[in-house]
Structure 1
Amino acid sequence: MTAIQSDNLTVKWTSGNLTVSSVSEFWERGVLSMSEGIEVIGTVQWELLLCQLACWVSCYFCIWKGVRSTGKVVYVTALFPYLMLAILMVRGVTLPGAWQGVVYYLYPDLSRLTDLQVWLDACTQVLFSYGLVGGTLITLGSYNKVKNNCYKDSLWLCLLNGCTSFVAGFAVFSVLGFMAEKQGLPVDKVVQSGAGLAFIAFPQAVAMMPLPQLWAVCFFIMLIMLGLDTLFAGLETITASVTDMFPKEMRRPWRREIFLIIFCLVFFLIQIIFTTQGGIYLFQLIDQYALNGAGVLVLCVIESVAVGWAFGAERMCDVVEGMTGQRPCLLFKLCWHYITPLIFMASFICMLLNYQPLTSSRGYVYPDWAYALGWTMACFTVVPVPIWAVVKIWTINGTLKERLLVLWYPAREPANSETNEDNLLNEPEMRTTSVSFHDTNYNENEMK
């Protein structure tokens, strides 16, 4: 490598036709100590391992007592990022060159709307942002009371999510505009999308600001809080599901705490491979295929069909009316029945047609076995659904047609019954929408 450009802000290096900033070099060679490829796992980076251990320990003690203690922690972990986002946005728009980035953000290139990949990226972002098909929204919603206004909560969730993304755009693109002016580059050439935006671009921008240490601390604390929030939701989803499946075993004293510590320990041990020199390649493979790939879209299709056709869009409207006293408008019914399944199906087909093999930012091409592993992980996100369907078909009585009809149409219960909540609480094997059902403080006598 030879130096080609240097100033008091950044240093750029070249290797062949590739130009790399000193910030990227520090991230890839210093922090991650990246190997040549996924074939070379290398050694464990002890700094990363200790950070991972600290994250799992922090998460465990934040959620080990149940959703009520988690709710108190979330007041900090959820609100603090908004405070930091506001501070960083105000700081960003006051930087020289920020207006260049804001203009680029507000006046996009409309010709890109003809690019199929743009729409697929938008679909992926929506799935991740709303936590669809992961069971998180269903689990957290099940802690509400039966008469909770889910109609209003859904609208507020969409509004808050969209506004957060819109405001965050000002914080990001104002900083990109500042970087573009300092480096003499167009805004779209400053950084690449992906993890580099958080761990390469913004630290590089922070280094150019006055009091860089202050802004760096604020930014990375915000990232930690966001990561913990995501981990809280995932762990609570798994814990609540296991508790609902085995209520008598899991509701005894200290069973939840023991289960969580075993679960956290197992996944900490599994994730040690991500702290190796080749761990970043495996992380990118999982992110591309298992978390944001075609498998997730297949689950979206299955879930939307289950809601709109098996449970029934009309019945869903009846349930919402029984809970809130307000019947959803026709648009909701059309979405549950037709629009949402068709959008997910079209997105799945387009993703397959537009498939591009994963490559790293430096042009590293994964070996064929790695792509096979990625598609295997994508399939494993879907495989439990048909396996569980076969198990349920096998374990109930009747002809095949009768079994399918029983499983396709769930048992009806009056959603507006005044005793519905009490009945559910008295039958722990049934799923409930009451906070009390998941409360680990209930003893066995209250369950009988």
Structure 2
Amino acid sequence: LSLNSEANKKKGSILPTSPSSKQPTRGQWSSKREFILAMVGEIIGLGNVWRFPYLCFKNGGGVFLVPYVLFLLTCGIPIFFLEVSLGQMTGQGGITCWRKICPLFQGIGFGGLILMLYTCMYYIVILAWALLYLFSSFQSELPWASCNNTWNTVNCIQTANDSLSVNATSSVEEFWQRRILGLSGGIEEMGSIRWDLAGCLLLCWITCYFCIWKGVKSSGKVVYFTATFPYLMMVALLIRGVTLPGAADGIRFYLWPDPSRLSDPQVWMDAASQILFSYAVCTGCLASLGSYNQRNNNCYKDAFALCLLNSATSIVAGFAIFSVLGYMSYELGVSIETVAESGPGLAFIAYPRAVAMMPLPQLWSVFFFMMIIFLGLDSEFVYLEGLVTSISDMYPSFFLTGHRRKLLLLGVCLVSLGIGLCMVTEGGLYVFQLFDYYACSGIPLVLFAILESVCIGWVYGADRYYSNIADMIGYRPWPYMKYCWKYITPTVGILLFSLAQFKPLKYNNTYVYPTWGYGLGLFLAFSSVSMFPLWFLYKLASTPGTLKQNLRMGITPAEGLRKPY
């Protein structure tokens, strides 16, 4: 009994160790509630607030929900469940879980690790921007509400009626471009560091470090606040928004169906990319979080509940955002298309402009930017937790003893901070957009989704994996997931590749990057994708034996995984 107990604790370590060596304890979530809140913090982030509502409005209103729900059922939920259950079953992070399932496919984990690293580097810059806006909100007059500031130009106007002058710019745009960013003419002109932004960036990294410096013991406690507080802010903003004049028009534009948009391939691409990005799949983070679960945790029900909560949050956030944009449209006497924006344009231009027109603008500005900060903060440090878990699980006897895991975390934070500093220079926004458009785009995510489905559905075997899941949760899930992994998800992924249209990145649809800028973007994109073929070839070449023997060994699971019954 003692030998079996010890073996269960180790959960089949995959790294060679001496027979007498003792694997350090990885730790587990103190309760199921901590796991759920950590997952909520991870998958519910800025994309739910500033991307989904705009995509819904742009792509046919309520009709956009058709491709969105379709991809949710065929890609989002199946891949989400696959990754969480894989981490729980193997007790390993985003890299070593694939080594136990199918060593040849471990490149998926390395590619996901690079995606996580890129995301950590650029995602936190958004928090630095929001933090500076939050600090600026504690003034008697919001600084972006007027043109009486040192950074304003003679072309500044305090209204959105740009017809007053061809060269006119609104006060909120000048605050964003001249006060916050100090935006240069292009990536060729990086300029100097914006030290106030750099200070905010440093503060964000310090916060993230101490949120997870003790692993799930600390992060599991922090998420009680960071995962729930944004919902309080969202409810407050929703109640305020729907009571404003013009709110009904904004909501109508948000959901008014336009069936003709379904014939546009871009609508389907937008729906798929939103599902993959907002569900945080194909990066290894979900597997890392799932690896800290009890083995008998019902991850099947968890996956469905979390995915539905994510999508419901996106829809509700749309009401909160577009009710306010409808109010701004009503006050200015312009169409909703004029004021509706996505991404940073929504969070740092459109919404602040609307807030400045409300009674008690400072209060609503503080609420909004606190919501943005906490939505991004827990996503950031949970990504960071997944990143460190993936690395430390490769060498547990080294990183999980003493303070080495904390030093690893510190090293990741310092390197990411150093690279992030180039995004808070005067040309930093151009670098930020390269990361956002190329490094963490939908194409690598779609490719990894196909590879994961093929690995589980065909190489390891969907039936065998279902038996492993039944061994964990006590019953076999509905066969729908199995058929998605084997047939539907790979087919949908290949179809998306055929619909994809590559368009070079342009800032504000006007600035064209230099050739080396596009080269840097393509390097960021292919650096993650290339991990799979590189590892596949390396594994075949470095393993003694014939090609046939190496292929057979490369697809053989670890001995610790139970066979189907």
What TM-score, normalized by structure 1, do the two folds share? 0.87
Equivalent residue, structure 2, for 1:401: 548
CA distance in 2, matches of 1:275, 1:240: 28
Equivalent residue, structure 2, for 1:428: none
Offset of 1:188 from its aligned partner? 2.1
Cα distance change, pair 33–322 in 1 and its aligned pair in 2 (3 A): same
* Matched residue type, 1:139: S
CA distance in 1, matches of 2:424, 2:235: 32
Map 1:141-220 onto structure 2 (within 5 A).
141-220=290-369
For residues 71-99 of structure 1, the C-alpha deviation after alignment (integer angstroms, 9 at most, x for no partner) is 10011111111111111111111111000
Equivalent residue, structure 2, for 1:422: none
For residues 204-249 of structure 1, the C-alpha deviation after alignment (integer angstroms, 9 at most, x for no partner) is 1111111111111111111111221121122111211122111111
Equivalent residue, structure 2, for 1:387: 534
Equivalent residue, structure 2, for 1:248: 397
Equivalent residue, structure 1, for 2:41: none
Equivalent residue, structure 1, for 2:262: 113
Equivalent residue, structure 2, for 1:304: 453
CA distance in 2, matches of 1:161, 1:281: 30
Equivalent residue, structure 2, for 1:97: 246
Q: Does 1:322 align with 2:493?
A: no
For residues 170-199 of structure 1, the C-alpha deviation after alignment (integer angstroms, 9 at most, x for no partner) is 101111111111121221221332210111
CA distance in 2, matches of 1:277, 1:19: 22
Secondary structure of residue in 2 paired with 1:131: coil
Higher relative contact order (CA 8 A, sep 6+): 2
* Matched residue type, 1:75: Y
Residues 107-116 or 148-157, more deviating: 107-116
Offset of 1:109 from its aligned partner? 2.1
Offset of 1:105 from its aligned partner? 1.8
Cα distance change, pair 263–182 in 1 and its aligned pair in 2 (3 A): same
CA distance in 1, matches of 2:158, 2:232: 35
Secondary structure of residue in 1 paired with 2:506: coil
For residues 327-384 of structure 1, the C-alpha deviation after alignment (integer angstroms, 9 at most, x for no partner) is 1222211101011111122212322xx2222111252122222222211211111112
Offset of 1:416 from its aligned partner? 9.1
Equivalent residue, structure 2, for 1:429: none
Residues 71-80 or 377-386, more deviating: 377-386
Equivalent residue, structure 2, for 1:373: 520
Match of 2:431 among 282, 285, 296: 282
CA distance in 1, matches of 2:165, 2:450: 45
* Matched residue type, 2:526: C
Secondary structure of residue in 2 paired with 1:245: coil
Equivalent residue, structure 2, for 1:60: 209
> How well do the aligned residues superpose, as a CA RMSD in angstroms?
2.0
Equivalent residue, structure 2, for 1:85: 234
Equivalent residue, structure 1, for 2:47: none
CA distance in 1, matches of 2:164, 2:534: 51
Contact 2:246 / 2:323 at 8 angstroms: preserved in 1?
Answer: yes
Secondary structure of residue in 2 paired with 1:174: helix
Equivalent residue, structure 1, for 2:489: 340
In structure 1, stretches of 5+ residues that fail to align are 418-448
For residues 17-75 of structure 1, the C-alpha deviation after alignment (integer angstroms, 9 at most, x for no partner) is x7642211210121101100111101110011000000000110111011121010011
* Matched residue type, 2:325: L
Offset of 1:321 from its aligned partner? 1.4
Percent identity among equivalent residues? Answer: 48
Match of 1:136 among 273, 285, 297: 285
* Matched residue type, 2:350: A
For residues 267-296 of structure 1, the C-alpha deviation after alignment (integer angstroms, 9 at most, x for no partner) is 111111001010100111110011014233
Contact 2:246 / 2:329 at 8 angstroms: preserved in 1?
Answer: yes
CA distance in 1, matches of 2:177, 2:345: 10
Offset of 1:415 from its aligned partner? 4.6
CA distance in 2, matches of 1:175, 1:62: 33
Contact 1:5 / 1:13 at 8 angstroms: preserved in 2?
Answer: no
Cα distance change, pair 19–309 in 1 and its aligned pair in 2 (3 A): farther
Equivalent residue, structure 2, for 1:430: none
Cα distance change, pair 405–47 in 1 and its aligned pair in 2 (3 A): same
Cα distance change, pair 229–13 in 1 and its aligned pair in 2 (3 A): farther
Cα distance change, pair 171–61 in 1 and its aligned pair in 2 (3 A): same
Match of 1:232 among 358, 381, 391: 381
- Structure 1 runs (4+) deviating above 3 angstroms are 1-7, 10-16, 411-417
Contact 2:505 / 2:513 at 8 angstroms: preserved in 1?
Answer: yes
CA distance in 2, matches of 1:111, 1:180: 25
Q: Does 1:70 align with 2:70?
A: no
Offset of 1:412 from its aligned partner? 5.5
Secondary structure of residue in 1 paired with 2:477: coil
Equivalent residue, structure 1, for 2:28: none
Cα distance change, pair 362–26 in 1 and its aligned pair in 2 (3 A): farther
Cα distance change, pair 101–131 in 1 and its aligned pair in 2 (3 A): same
Equivalent residue, structure 2, for 1:22: 171
For residues 117-158 of structure 1, the C-alpha deviation after alignment (integer angstroms, 9 at most, x for no partner) is 122111111111110111111110111111110110111111
Contact 1:11 / 1:22 at 8 angstroms: preserved in 2?
Answer: no
Q: Does 1:46 align with 2:195?
A: yes
* Count of residue correspondences: 412
* Matched residue type, 1:270: I
Offset of 1:6 from its aligned partner? 5.1
Contact 2:280 / 2:286 at 8 angstroms: preserved in 1?
Answer: yes
In structure 2, stretches of 5+ residues that fail to align are 1-152
CA distance in 2, matches of 1:160, 1:139: 20
Q: Does 1:257 align with 2:406?
A: yes
CA distance in 2, matches of 1:348, 1:194: 24
